[in-house]
């Protein structure tokens, strides 16, 4: 789904101050910029650009299309053309106590899903995370796709949105006491809204949905889901599935 966010928009982010800016262009004037020939690195990885999303240099500052940067950082961007408002939703990363949780276990692992709140205000960051804790004593290799813990979102209409995963086979080795942790990303809610509204054109989706990465008012079931195998063959004997659900309300 990251490819959804590589679509370039006119809004740019000022890298020197991390402040979103815009410049009105009069009919008789225009801003002259140069293409920035350097490379932007995020966490030591080069940001890939193309002809439609060039880095620009203006007045000794470097600019980059906001959606391009958000895609690299795991953020979600929405734009309301009516009131010219830009919405940036980032994953919630903070130390806090959960108010609701659900745990399940099998012979090797305990899977838990946690939420900071049971009730969230519409548009408020949703802080949900999951742990997969290894309970065995000997080293164990498991085989799974790109996402070890996936999230499902089900609304009160019975509609369920699922995670998109790759076709690659990943091997993870767990030793005694190991734990895998992940937090739900705003991009999961973007995926839910995209699937729920059955948009085929990504650009149309972003134009019509001002805040694509929030859940609207209602009741939801959030599921942490694990599907792995004890060998490279995903048969009945080797395959293991685990899921833990919590209920949240958006008001």
- Best CA proximity match to 4, nearest among 144, 186, 146: 186
CA distances from 84 to 10, 17, 78 (A): 12, 21, 10
Which token pair is 110? Answer: 């305990």
Q: Are 154 and 223 in contact (CB under 8 A)?
A: yes
What whole-number percentage of the chain has pLDDT above 90?
Answer: 47
Least confident of 50-64, 153-167, 198-212: 50-64
Place of tokens 């699937």: 195
User: Is pLDDT at 175 greater than 80 in this prediction?
Assistant: yes
> How much is the average pLDDT of 190-195?
91
Predicted local distance difference test score (pLDDT) of residue 176: 97
User: Is pLDDT at 181 greater than 90 in this prediction?
Assistant: yes
> How much is the average pLDDT of 15-27?
42
Task: Name the most confidently modeled range: 131-135, 158-162, 202-206.
Answer: 131-135
Place of tokens 């101050």: 17
Q: Where are the domains of the chain?
A: 2-73, 100-250
| pLDDT tens-digit readout, 125-137 | 899 999 999 999 9
Q: Are 226 and 242 in contact (CB under 8 A)?
A: yes
How close are the terminal C-alpha atoms of the chain, in Å?
27
Q: Domain 100-250 is in which class?
A: mainly beta
| pLDDT tens-digit readout, 96-109 | 899 999 999 999 99
Assessment of whether the complete model's pTM goes beyond 0.85: no
Of 164 and 196, the structure prediction assigns the larger pLDDT to 196
Of 85 and 14, the structure prediction assigns the larger pLDDT to 85
User: Is pLDDT at 3 greater than 70 in this prediction?
Assistant: no
User: Is pLDDT at 44 greater than 60 in this prediction?
Assistant: yes
> How much is the average pLDDT of 169-195?
94
Please count the other Cβ atoms lying within 10 Å of the Cβ belonging to residue 168. 8
Least confident of 21-30, 88-97, 208-217: 21-30
- Best CA proximity match to 229, nearest among 104, 108, 105, 139: 108
Least confident of 15-29, 118-132, 161-175, 226-240: 15-29
Show the 3-state SS of 88-138: EECCCCCCCCCCEEEEEECCCEEEEEEECCCEECCCCCCCEEEEEEECCCC
Give the number of C-alpha atoms closer than 13 A to the C-alpha of residue 149, restricted to the C-beta side.
24
User: Is pLDDT at 23 greater than 60 in this prediction?
Assistant: no
């Amino acid at each position: 789904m990251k490819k959804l966010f590589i679509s370039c928009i006119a809004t740019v982010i000022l890298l020197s101050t991390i402040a979103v800016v815009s410049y009105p262009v009069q009919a008789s004037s225009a801003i002259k910029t140069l293409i920035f020939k350097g490379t932007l690195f995020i966490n030591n990885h080069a940001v890939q650009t193309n002809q439609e999303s060039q880095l620009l240099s203006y007045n000794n500052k470097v600019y980059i299309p906001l959606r391009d940067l958000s895609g690299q950082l795991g953020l979600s961007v929405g734009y309301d053309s009516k009131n010219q408002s830009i919405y940036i939703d980032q994953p919630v990363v903070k130390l806090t106590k959960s108010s609701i949780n659900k745990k399940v276990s099998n012979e090797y692992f305990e899977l838990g899903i946690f939420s900071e709140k049971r009730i969230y205000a519409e548009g408020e960051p949703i802080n949900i995370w999951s742990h997969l804790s290894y309970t065995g004593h000997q080293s164990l290799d498991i085989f799974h796709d790109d996402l070890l813990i996936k999230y499902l979102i089900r609304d009160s209409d019975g509609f369920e949105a699922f995670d998109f995963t790759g076709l690659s086979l990943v091997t993870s080795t767990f030793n005694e006491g190991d734990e895998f942790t992940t937090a739900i990303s705003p991009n999961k809610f973007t995926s839910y809204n995209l699937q729920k509204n059955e948009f085929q054109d990504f650009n149309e989706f972003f134009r019509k949905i001002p805040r694509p990465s929030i859940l609207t008012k209602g009741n939801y079931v959030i599921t942490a889901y694990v599907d792995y195998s004890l060998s490279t063959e995903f048969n009945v004997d080797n395959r293991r599935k685990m899921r833990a659900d919590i209920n949240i309300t958006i008001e």
